Amino acid sequence: MNYFNLASRKKRWSVTCYAIATILLLAISFANAETAINTPPLDLTKNIRVTMVTSIGTIEIELYSAKAPITVNNFVQYIDNNFYNNTIFHRVIPGFMIQGGGLGKGMVEKATQPPIKNEAGNGLANLRGTIAMARNQSINSASSQFYINLVDNAYLNHKDDVAANYGYCVFGKVVKGMDVVDKIAKVPTTTVGIYRNVPQSDVVILEVKRSK
Protein backbone atom coordinates (compact mmCIF):
# COMPACT_ATOMS: atom_id res chain seq x y z
CA MET A 1 0.00 0.00 0.00
CA ASN A 2 1.43 3.36 -0.98
CA TYR A 3 0.56 6.68 0.58
CA PHE A 4 2.56 9.64 -0.61
CA ASN A 5 3.64 12.71 1.33
CA LEU A 6 1.91 15.91 0.28
CA ALA A 7 3.49 19.29 0.97
CA SER A 8 0.64 20.80 2.97
CA ARG A 9 2.58 24.01 3.54
CA LYS A 10 2.46 24.92 -0.12
CA LYS A 11 -0.50 27.09 -1.04
CA ARG A 12 0.25 27.23 -4.75
CA TRP A 13 0.99 24.47 -7.21
CA SER A 14 2.33 24.91 -10.75
CA VAL A 15 2.39 22.89 -13.92
CA THR A 16 6.05 22.14 -13.24
CA CYS A 17 4.88 20.10 -10.23
CA TYR A 18 2.92 17.69 -12.45
CA ALA A 19 5.24 14.75 -11.80
CA ILE A 20 4.46 15.15 -8.11
CA ALA A 21 0.80 15.86 -8.73
CA THR A 22 0.29 12.54 -10.46
CA ILE A 23 0.87 10.85 -7.13
CA LEU A 24 -0.80 13.42 -4.90
CA LEU A 25 -4.29 12.06 -5.37
CA LEU A 26 -3.51 8.39 -5.13
CA ALA A 27 -6.47 6.63 -3.66
CA ILE A 28 -5.41 4.27 -0.91
CA SER A 29 -4.92 0.98 -2.73
CA PHE A 30 -7.84 -1.40 -3.03
CA ALA A 31 -7.78 -5.00 -4.16
CA ASN A 32 -9.26 -4.69 -7.65
CA ALA A 33 -7.46 -1.67 -9.04
CA GLU A 34 -6.47 -2.98 -12.46
CA THR A 35 -9.59 -4.19 -14.29
CA ALA A 36 -11.91 -1.32 -15.16
CA ILE A 37 -15.60 -1.83 -15.86
CA ASN A 38 -18.05 0.36 -17.74
CA THR A 39 -21.22 0.77 -15.70
CA PRO A 40 -24.39 1.74 -17.57
CA PRO A 41 -25.17 5.48 -17.59
CA LEU A 42 -28.02 7.16 -15.74
CA ASP A 43 -30.59 9.35 -17.45
CA LEU A 44 -28.45 11.79 -19.43
CA THR A 45 -31.21 14.34 -19.98
CA LYS A 46 -30.58 16.10 -16.68
CA ASN A 47 -27.90 16.57 -14.08
CA ILE A 48 -28.29 14.99 -10.66
CA ARG A 49 -27.98 16.84 -7.37
CA VAL A 50 -26.82 15.16 -4.21
CA THR A 51 -26.63 16.39 -0.63
CA MET A 52 -23.61 15.55 1.51
CA VAL A 53 -24.17 16.08 5.23
CA THR A 54 -20.90 16.32 7.16
CA SER A 55 -20.03 16.89 10.79
CA ILE A 56 -19.05 20.46 9.83
CA GLY A 57 -21.99 21.33 7.58
CA THR A 58 -23.93 20.44 4.44
CA ILE A 59 -22.59 20.46 0.88
CA GLU A 60 -24.79 20.28 -2.21
CA ILE A 61 -23.20 18.93 -5.38
CA GLU A 62 -24.44 18.89 -8.96
CA LEU A 63 -23.29 15.85 -10.95
CA TYR A 64 -22.71 16.18 -14.69
CA SER A 65 -24.40 13.05 -16.02
CA ALA A 66 -23.89 13.80 -19.71
CA LYS A 67 -20.19 14.65 -19.37
CA ALA A 68 -19.24 11.77 -17.06
CA PRO A 69 -21.97 9.10 -17.26
CA ILE A 70 -19.86 6.18 -16.03
CA THR A 71 -18.42 8.14 -13.13
CA VAL A 72 -21.74 9.67 -12.07
CA ASN A 73 -23.50 6.33 -12.24
CA ASN A 74 -20.77 4.75 -10.12
CA PHE A 75 -20.92 7.59 -7.55
CA VAL A 76 -24.71 7.40 -7.33
CA GLN A 77 -24.59 3.62 -6.87
CA TYR A 78 -22.36 4.13 -3.85
CA ILE A 79 -24.78 6.78 -2.57
CA ASP A 80 -27.84 4.57 -3.05
CA ASN A 81 -26.06 1.77 -1.17
CA ASN A 82 -25.30 4.15 1.74
CA PHE A 83 -21.59 3.46 1.21
CA TYR A 84 -20.43 6.98 2.05
CA ASN A 85 -22.41 7.27 5.26
CA ASN A 86 -20.04 7.52 8.25
CA THR A 87 -16.90 7.66 6.13
CA ILE A 88 -14.39 10.46 6.69
CA PHE A 89 -12.42 13.10 4.85
CA HIS A 90 -9.08 11.42 5.46
CA ARG A 91 -6.83 13.88 3.59
CA VAL A 92 -7.03 17.65 3.88
CA ILE A 93 -4.50 19.97 2.22
CA PRO A 94 -5.13 23.74 2.32
CA GLY A 95 -4.56 25.38 -1.04
CA PHE A 96 -5.11 22.10 -2.84
CA MET A 97 -8.02 19.76 -2.06
CA ILE A 98 -9.97 17.69 0.48
CA GLN A 99 -10.28 13.95 -0.13
CA GLY A 100 -12.64 11.29 1.18
CA GLY A 101 -14.93 8.44 0.26
CA GLY A 102 -12.95 5.33 1.09
CA LEU A 103 -12.18 5.12 4.79
CA GLY A 104 -14.16 5.04 8.00
CA LYS A 105 -13.23 6.21 11.47
CA GLY A 106 -9.87 4.90 12.60
CA MET A 107 -8.61 5.01 8.98
CA VAL A 108 -10.31 1.68 8.24
CA GLU A 109 -10.63 0.91 4.52
CA LYS A 110 -14.01 -0.02 3.08
CA ALA A 111 -14.43 -2.71 0.43
CA THR A 112 -15.37 -1.18 -2.91
CA GLN A 113 -16.94 -2.03 -6.23
CA PRO A 114 -14.58 -2.75 -9.15
CA PRO A 115 -12.81 0.31 -10.59
CA ILE A 116 -14.28 2.30 -13.45
CA LYS A 117 -13.11 3.76 -16.74
CA ASN A 118 -11.39 7.13 -16.40
CA GLU A 119 -13.47 9.83 -18.13
CA ALA A 120 -10.93 12.62 -17.54
CA GLY A 121 -11.03 13.50 -21.24
CA ASN A 122 -14.59 14.82 -20.96
CA GLY A 123 -13.57 18.48 -21.22
CA LEU A 124 -14.24 19.33 -17.57
CA ALA A 125 -11.41 21.04 -15.70
CA ASN A 126 -10.21 20.72 -12.11
CA LEU A 127 -11.42 24.16 -11.06
CA ARG A 128 -12.15 25.38 -7.54
CA GLY A 129 -15.30 23.72 -6.23
CA THR A 130 -15.32 20.81 -8.66
CA ILE A 131 -15.46 17.20 -7.49
CA ALA A 132 -13.26 14.59 -9.17
CA MET A 133 -12.22 10.97 -8.71
CA ALA A 134 -9.04 10.03 -6.86
CA ARG A 135 -7.09 7.07 -8.21
CA ASN A 136 -3.71 5.39 -8.11
CA GLN A 137 -1.12 5.39 -10.92
CA SER A 138 -3.22 3.09 -13.08
CA ILE A 139 -5.42 5.24 -15.36
CA ASN A 140 -8.59 3.22 -14.79
CA SER A 141 -8.28 2.61 -11.05
CA ALA A 142 -10.83 4.98 -9.48
CA SER A 143 -13.46 3.30 -7.35
CA SER A 144 -15.08 5.24 -4.49
CA GLN A 145 -12.66 7.95 -3.39
CA PHE A 146 -13.20 11.52 -4.53
CA TYR A 147 -11.75 14.95 -3.87
CA ILE A 148 -13.04 18.52 -3.98
CA ASN A 149 -10.71 21.13 -5.44
CA LEU A 150 -10.00 24.11 -3.18
CA VAL A 151 -8.29 26.03 -5.99
CA ASP A 152 -7.90 25.69 -9.75
CA ASN A 153 -5.59 22.69 -10.25
CA ALA A 154 -4.96 22.78 -13.99
CA TYR A 155 -2.13 20.24 -13.87
CA LEU A 156 -4.64 17.58 -12.81
CA ASN A 157 -6.57 17.97 -16.08
CA HIS A 158 -6.49 15.52 -18.98
CA LYS A 159 -3.85 16.50 -21.53
CA ASP A 160 -3.44 13.39 -23.68
CA ASP A 161 -3.72 9.62 -23.46
CA VAL A 162 -0.21 9.08 -22.08
CA ALA A 163 -0.55 7.68 -18.56
CA ALA A 164 1.37 10.54 -16.94
CA ASN A 165 -0.87 13.12 -18.64
CA TYR A 166 -4.24 11.38 -18.48
CA GLY A 167 -5.48 13.38 -15.52
CA TYR A 168 -8.28 13.00 -13.01
CA CYS A 169 -11.96 12.88 -13.95
CA VAL A 170 -14.11 15.82 -12.90
CA PHE A 171 -17.77 14.81 -12.66
CA GLY A 172 -19.55 17.59 -10.79
CA LYS A 173 -19.35 20.81 -8.82
CA VAL A 174 -20.30 22.15 -5.42
CA VAL A 175 -23.32 24.42 -5.92
CA LYS A 176 -23.99 25.16 -2.26
CA GLY A 177 -21.84 24.83 0.83
CA MET A 178 -18.42 25.80 -0.51
CA ASP A 179 -18.02 27.65 2.78
CA VAL A 180 -18.27 24.25 4.47
CA VAL A 181 -15.58 22.86 2.15
CA ASP A 182 -13.35 25.80 3.09
CA LYS A 183 -13.98 25.15 6.79
CA ILE A 184 -12.94 21.52 6.33
CA ALA A 185 -9.78 22.75 4.60
CA LYS A 186 -8.83 24.68 7.74
CA VAL A 187 -9.03 21.86 10.27
CA PRO A 188 -5.74 20.93 11.99
CA THR A 189 -4.10 17.84 10.51
CA THR A 190 -1.58 15.30 11.70
CA THR A 191 0.21 12.11 10.70
CA VAL A 192 -1.40 8.78 11.56
CA GLY A 193 1.07 5.96 10.95
CA ILE A 194 1.97 6.18 7.27
CA TYR A 195 -0.91 8.56 6.55
CA ARG A 196 -0.28 12.30 6.38
CA ASN A 197 -2.60 15.30 6.24
CA VAL A 198 -5.18 13.47 8.35
CA PRO A 199 -7.60 15.68 10.33
CA GLN A 200 -6.81 15.54 14.04
CA SER A 201 -10.53 15.21 14.75
CA ASP A 202 -12.63 13.16 12.34
CA VAL A 203 -14.50 15.11 9.69
CA VAL A 204 -17.34 12.67 9.16
CA ILE A 205 -19.56 12.31 6.11
CA LEU A 206 -22.75 11.53 8.01
CA GLU A 207 -24.94 10.95 4.97
CA VAL A 208 -24.98 11.38 1.22
CA LYS A 209 -28.30 11.22 -0.60
CA ARG A 210 -29.91 12.32 -3.81
CA SER A 211 -31.47 15.77 -3.43
CA LYS A 212 -35.23 16.00 -3.86
**pLDDT, position 2:** 33
The pLDDT assigned to 212 comes to 72
Domain range holding 144?
15-29+42-210
pTM: 0.85
Using a pLDDT cut of 90, give the percent of the chain over it: 76
Residue 107 lies in a domain: yes
Residue 145 falls inside a structural domain:
yes
Q: Which amino acid is at 42?
A: L
Is residue 34 included in any domain, yes or no?
A: no
The count of structural domains within the chain is 1
**What's the pLDDT at 43?**
74
Per-residue pLDDT of 135-192, as tens digits, reads 999 999 999 999 999 999 999 999 999 999 999 999 999 999 999 999 999 999 999 9
Residue 3 lies in a domain: no
Q: For the residues of the chain, what is the DSSP string, one character each? A: -------TT-----GGGHHHHHHHTPPPP-TT-S--B-PPP--TTS-EEEEEEESS-EEEEEE-TTT-HHHHHHHHHHHHTTTTTTEEEEEEETTTEEEEEEEETTTEE---PPPB---GGGS----TTEEEE---SSTT---S-EEEESS--GGGS--SSSGGG----EEEEEEE-HHHHHHHHTS-EEEETTEEEEESS--EEEEEEE--
Q: What integer pLDDT is reported at residue 15 of this predicted model?
A: 34
> How high is the pLDDT of residue 192?
95
25 closest CA partner among 113, 157, 122: 157
What b/e readout covers 135-174, taking b as 16+ CB neighbours within 10 angstroms? bbeebbbbbbbbbbbbbebbbbbbeeeeeeebbbbbbbbb
In a domain, 78, yes or no: yes
Q: Is residue 206 part of a domain?
A: yes
- Look up the CATH number of the domain holding residue 23: 2.40.100.10
Q: Which regions of the chain are under pLDDT 50?
A: 1-23, 29-34, 39
pLDDT of residue 41: 52
Residue 20 included in any domain: yes
167 assigned to some structural domain = yes
- Say what the pLDDT of residue 142 is: 98
